[in-house]
Chain A
């Protein structure tokens, strides 16, 4: 099979297998999008893998990911088995060097992913025509490279990508608009004050004169959608640059639910590939091959969580407990698949027994050693939730886009007890300056829980304020 196009027989066998799997999946209650399966060589697999979706815009960070994936593959360290695109119809990629049986398992696995994309609430708003959008975006960025030079575009993308995780799927243009000038309460009766609910108006703000020609860029509420705020209000960016920011944001919003549902989605797919493969009347050799591959996918690791394994175990546990309680376990699973994200799955369903059965623990670097420091189930659950919230990135909010009345950008780290990597933060602020063109401020806290304010502009460099 290696290094050559799959034979007719191979394709025919696989096609028949996938038909059977499709029918089974439907009988079992899965409702995936219509699905295109593509048989591709490994090089295409890791190319698409490193871009997240085929046809995405060019940038050296993608090239870096590509090189890493290629190296891992060339040295036999890892290979991508499955790749599936959230679109309608759904695209799934099968590795041409896989055996027919391996690809049947992958097909069953990705059909469950497709079902998850189609039915999980977090995906309800994602564009299902993203392949087209991605291609058009890439084309526009290519045109900007032509018009403004590849180096200029690269520097811009370097800056935008440094904050690409800071989007808010629920944010709208409205959320990044300045507060409307508060109408002065008209007293109609002497007792009007009594009816006013909520906090009394901030006298400081009330006394402020209205902003001259609306230049005040203080969002009504702090927003964590840095990209949206910048593309709406940056004093510097040209239209094409705003478009690039908007492209990165659109694509991030598309990937966002996938980042929010890694554990549950992989658990769901693993649960179903196991169910479906067991229904396939495999002969002994095939069954053995299936069992080995299944075990390899669910292999736990002492140093990092395997989302396939954790998700699979939690879902199985939900089904078992529901059945034991006299409910329809399968129906319960479908409900979970529709409603939960990783954070809510962990919050609602990671039990003490599961943490102990899975032997989960917290470890930390102490001196020159990695040491297990905590095994209590609540600590594990809390840490896991913290890690999954905002998919592991700190929440950074725009407090003010007109700080000091000088259009400086004031950001605040929503403190949850975890200190920032300050070196990285400062470098990211340099990128932000490229986008904002005025001094950047960042308020955070130190490991000792003391307030720390950083600022950056190219003339004065980095400064720290207590």
Chain B
């Protein structure tokens, strides 16, 4: 009895692996989404050059079981004949405390799953439903983002746009009608051409005025938080909008317009007069960003520790800003330092405008909620802006 057979059935038809793999990837994404608040304010991500692949630990995808404590176990290995008690098989680097280990695998104690994703993928998730609130169509200088989309098939057109696949299909179809279902004897009638439309999206001009307190009272944490926020905001604006102007303003007792690089790297010292920043913002609007043609978004991050006699001026200037802006965001960073309400936030409580949005950030994980508060769905008040 010969009982061996050799066959080549197409097992790949099942495609189960690919389908379940997709489900697993989906779960990884969901897990990341749930942890966005922590991931967004992760130092390594904010200081990354923007192209890097980031690794995100995902604890929710572990397959929990009853198992022995992996840290308490002796493992068995096999030497090459001359091993001795006390021999060191491997030395872990200093940085590899729990939580920084390599991928899940054979090392005791370190076995959570890490997903790798590119910054772009991460940004997509962070920005998924964020948008500039209260955006209005402006009269002038509409920004056009253009794309060419092939949308239709015709019988005539430039040869450069010949749709070869369809042409061949038409030819075979015609031949088949005469009993020869194959390619050959191409006629003009067989030719098919792709036609296209220009896809024009109209966007209004928008400018974001990013103001940051760089005075001496802003500690490491406060600076880190404001930079983390602005880092994601800038990325968000550039990802979602083709052309949004961003102006960077740093202030202590005086404000000045700085480059993006200076904004994110330079530290200053001295007292705080927030009014200087607001005045500069108003000047910039007057000179360069006429509200008739620009949507205007001033944002200000500070520890709120403002020069007390400056507060009233701040309120007045903020009111003027609000009259010209689509939304004015103020973020105050307080790391449990102030039991009382800070002077600036207190001052702003008198402002009564749906376009004025404030957040208070006390810890790293609140950067993401802050982003959502300013740009998330449902934030936009929807009130029509009074024309300046």
If A303-B89, A305-B76, A373-B74 touch, whether A66 touches B69 (CB-CB below 8 Å) is: no
Are B65 and A18 touching (Cβ within 8 A)?
Answer: no
Are B74 and A427 touching (Cβ within 8 A)?
Answer: no
Interface assignment of A179: CB less than 8 Å from any CB of chain B: no
Report the Cα distance A360→B7, complex, angstroms: 42
Interface assignment of A222: CB less than 8 Å from any CB of chain B: no
Are B7 and A424 touching (Cβ within 8 A)?
Answer: no
Are B4 and A63 touching (Cβ within 8 A)?
Answer: no
**B77: A residues at CB distance < 8 A:** 301-305, 360-363, 372
Are B74 and A304 touching (Cβ within 8 A)?
Answer: no
**B340: A residues at CB distance < 8 A:** none
Chain A residue, CB-CB nearest to B27: A60
If A47-B12, A63-B24, A303-B77 touch, whether A424 touches B65 (CB-CB below 8 Å) is: yes
Are B65 and A372 touching (Cβ within 8 A)?
Answer: no
User: Within B34-88, which residues are at the interface with A (CB < 8 Å)?
Assistant: 61-88
Instruction: Give chain A's interface secondary structure class.
Output: mixed
**A296: B residues at CB distance < 8 A:** none
Are B21 and A66 touching (Cβ within 8 A)?
Answer: yes
Contact pattern, A 388-418, Cβ under 8 Å of B = 1, otherwise 0:
0000111010000000000000000100001
If A63-B17, A63-B23 touch, whether A369 touches B67 (CB-CB below 8 Å) is: no
Are A374 and B70 touching (Cβ within 8 A)?
Answer: no
Interface assignment of B261: CB less than 8 Å from any CB of chain A: no
**A266: B residues at CB distance < 8 A:** none
If A18-B6, A370-B88 touch, whether A387 touches B76 (CB-CB below 8 Å) is: yes
Q: How many residues of B contact A (CB 8 A)?
A: 61
Interface assignment of B378: CB less than 8 Å from any CB of chain A: no
Interface assignment of A239: CB less than 8 Å from any CB of chain B: no
Are B65 and A39 touching (Cβ within 8 A)?
Answer: no
Are A22 and B3 touching (Cβ within 8 A)?
Answer: yes
Interface assignment of B141: CB less than 8 Å from any CB of chain A: no
**A427: B residues at CB distance < 8 A:** 62, 64
**A34: B residues at CB distance < 8 A:** 3-4
**B109: A residues at CB distance < 8 A:** 365
Q: How far is the CB of A91 from chain B (nearest CB, A)?
A: 10
Contact among B24, B85, B93, B94 for A64, CB-based, below 8 A:
B24
Interface assignment of B309: CB less than 8 Å from any CB of chain A: no
**A383: B residues at CB distance < 8 A:** 74, 76
Q: 4 closest pairs, A vs B, by CB? A: A63-B20, A34-B3, A63-B24, A47-B17
Apart from A70-B21, A369-B91, what are 6 other A-B pairs with CB-CB below 8 Å? A40-B11, A41-B12, A362-B76, A363-B77, A369-B88, A428-B66
| Interface CB pairs A-B, < 8 A, 6 | A6-B8, A36-B4, A302-B77, A302-B78, A303-B75, A418-B68
